[in-house]
Structure formats: structure tokens, C-alpha cells
Structure 1
Amino acid sequence: MKVSWKPGTMIYPLPAVLVSCGTMEHSNILTVAWTGTLCTNPPMCYISVRPERHSYPLIRENMEFTINLTTSSMARATDWAGVRSGADYDKWEETGLTPEPGVKVSCPSIAESPLSIECRVKEVVHLGSHDMFVADVVNVLADEKFMDPSTGAFDLAAAGLLNYSHGQYFEQGAPIGRFGWSVKKK
């Protein structure tokens, strides 16, 4: 039996990502779990950020950001960047993460991330506690060590991606099937 519970956002797990913003000369990273895909063609995604966050004006000013997927080996840096403010710390220095120049955007990506998604903001939607930055994906940077040389496919499962679920971090589990496997002819 189900019982009514207080309204809330209980859609978990979510990717725990590090968003880099600003420019190479003045950048910051922040941890975001409110992120996702909006459209395949054209490729679009979003992040939701509280306006009082230190990174918010950097994103608004430049209208660009990079979503960097995180791994279990990046868990401590991911958590640290989410509980400390870039107004008080140089998060790059404190986390030991490495900024790399963007290819199609002015903000850096994170060298240690297996996949970095360069985004250009198309629209800002004011929602309440958070503003949603709706963005076009303008480039994806993939770590070659996770690329299958024979197919050119990116092996996300091998990257050990980090997920966030109701206040906790988890390493992504083992795959149990591939899209369409339930209806595939034997």
C-alpha cells in the first residue's frame, strides 16, 4: 500500500555533475544534480541553479557552461565543490581538478571528466528556488580511453559514473540490458 507523502522532487538517481563556467581567466565549478536531456535533435540539455550561487552570475554573463560527468574517483571533489563556495575558495586548486580550455565555448572543461558537454544558453526559465538554463549542446569532449576503436562508441559503463540519490552518492551499477532487449527476437 502507498501512503501520501509531502510533495517533493523524488526522481532519483540523477547524475552528479560538475558544471564549469566563466572563462579560463575567471572560472568556477559547481556541483549540480538538477540536470538532464531536453531534446535529441537539436541536442539540448539543462541545468537548474539557485540565483544566490556564486556561479550563477558567471553563467548569466557568458551564457555558456560545460557539464562534466563525474566518476567514483572524482566523488570527493564533486561533493566538496557542492558544499563550498567559489566566492571563498579556488575550487580548482582545492579539489585538484584540472581546467582545460573549451573548444566551442569560453569556459573550461575538467580534464579528469570522462565526458564534457559544452553548452550555450538559449533561454533562462525562472522557476522558484532555481532558474533553469536551457542550452544547446555545441560540442562534446570524450576521453579516448573510453572509446571503442572498432565502433567509435563511448563506453559510459566503463567510466564508473557517479550518481546522486536523495543525499547520497553512488557509483553507477552493472548494466542489466540494452535498449530494446525486452522485445528483441531471439
Structure 2
Amino acid sequence: MKKSLGAATLAQPTPTWAVGSYDTDGKPNAMIAAWGGICSSQPPCLTVSVRPGRHTFAGIMHHKAFTVSVCPQWLVAEADYLGIVSGRKTDKFAATGLTPVRSELVDAPYIDEFPLVIECALIHTYELGAHTMMVGEIKDVKCDHDKLLEDKHPDLTKVLPLIYAPGAGTYHGVGPALAKGFSAGKKFMK
């Protein structure tokens, strides 16, 4: 029997994404967001949700751009740090030793040490309550060459994205592939 947990943000898992932006003074910043995901295939878009009081919010609104650097499992402490301090008071890049890289396509930085990066132009915002959902049109995806599958797709087993478990507040990794998409379910087709 299932137990009701009420209306809560307990979807499992959520990403551990470093949302990169320049602040209103042009200083690179990154914060961790777990509220996000792909929202459109054409045009390719993703969402991140940010509280309006966060330092990152003003930077994204000012520059109309952000990046998503997918946090790898081996940088869990650095990723967690990006989520527990404010860029308003701290230079997170100096503190962690991570390297901000200026995007060539959008007015935002990404994190060089993170193997998978998505560069986005802000195209919509939706105020939803505590958070504002920001829709970014994906202008480019960059991946470390040694983390590619068949030289054209990020390899999940090499990128090793860090995932987050809301409620428990714990970070996790990904496991081996279980089945091929759009294939495993064919056994139920007549």
C-alpha cells in the first residue's frame, strides 16, 4: 500500500546542474539548481527554476542568458559548495578552484571542469510562486571529447552526472544501462 506524502517536491531524481551567469557587475557566478529539465525538442529548450531573491536571478534577467554545466560525480563537494554559498558575498570560482569560461554564443560563463555544458538564451520566464521558471533556448551543447559516445552524443557512463534526491537531500550517481530506449517495450507490441 502506498502512503500519501502530500503535495511535495519529491520527484526522483532531479539534476544537479550548475547554472552559470554573470552578475550585474559582470562577475562570473554559478549556483546549483535541482529544479530543471528539458521542456521542448523544437526549438530545443530547457528550464531551470530560480528564486527571485537569489544572486543568480538578477544576473540571468540582466544578461538574458545562462548556461547549465552538468555536475560530474567526481566533483560532488565543489557542486555542493556552489549550492550552499551566495555569489553575492563569495567568489565561488576562486574558493573551489573551478574555472569560468566565457561562452562564445550567450552572455554567460560555464564551468570548464564539468564535462557537459549547455548554453542557453533566456526566452521566457514564468512566475510560479517561490520560484521563477526560466526557459532557455539551447544554442549549443559542448561535451569533453573523451566523454562522447560514437563521437556524437554524451556518454552517460563517462559524464557520470550527479543526481539529487529531494526530501533525503542526498547526492547519487548513475548506474549501468538497463535497456535501449524505444526498444525494450516492443515485447508488448503485437
Query: Does the TM-score normalized on the shorter chain lie above 0.5?
Result: yes
2:171 matched residue in structure 1: 169
Residue identity matched to 1:30: M
Counterparts of 1:88 and 1:151, CA distance in 2? 40
For the 8 Å contact 1:97–1:110, the answer to whether it is kept is: yes
2:18 matched residue in structure 1: 18
Counterparts of 2:65 and 2:144, CA distance in 1? 21
Unaligned stretches of 5+ residues in structure 2? none
Aligned length: 184
Q: For residue 15 of structure 1, report the CA deviation from its aligned partner.
A: 1.2
Q: Relative to structure 2, which stretch is displaced further, 100-109 or 19-28?
A: 19-28
2:130 matched residue in structure 1: 129
Q: Share of identical aligned residues, percent?
A: 32
For the 8 Å contact 1:15–1:163, the answer to whether it is kept is: yes
TM-score by length of 1: 0.93
Q: Considering only aligned residues, what root-mean-square deviation do their CA atoms show, in Å?
A: 1.7
Counterparts of 1:159 and 1:138, CA distance in 2? 20
For the 8 Å contact 2:116–2:154, the answer to whether it is kept is: no
Q: Relative to structure 2, which stretch is displaced further, 30-39 or 150-159?
A: 150-159
TM-score by length of 2: 0.91
For the 8 Å contact 2:145–2:151, the answer to whether it is kept is: no
Residue identity matched to 1:165: A
Q: For residue 184 of structure 1, report the CA deviation from its aligned partner.
A: 5.0
2:145 matched residue in structure 1: 144
Q: Counterpart of 2:184 in 1: which secondary structure? A: coil
Counterparts of 2:72 and 2:92, CA distance in 1? 17
4+ runs deviating over 2 angstroms: 3-6, 150-154
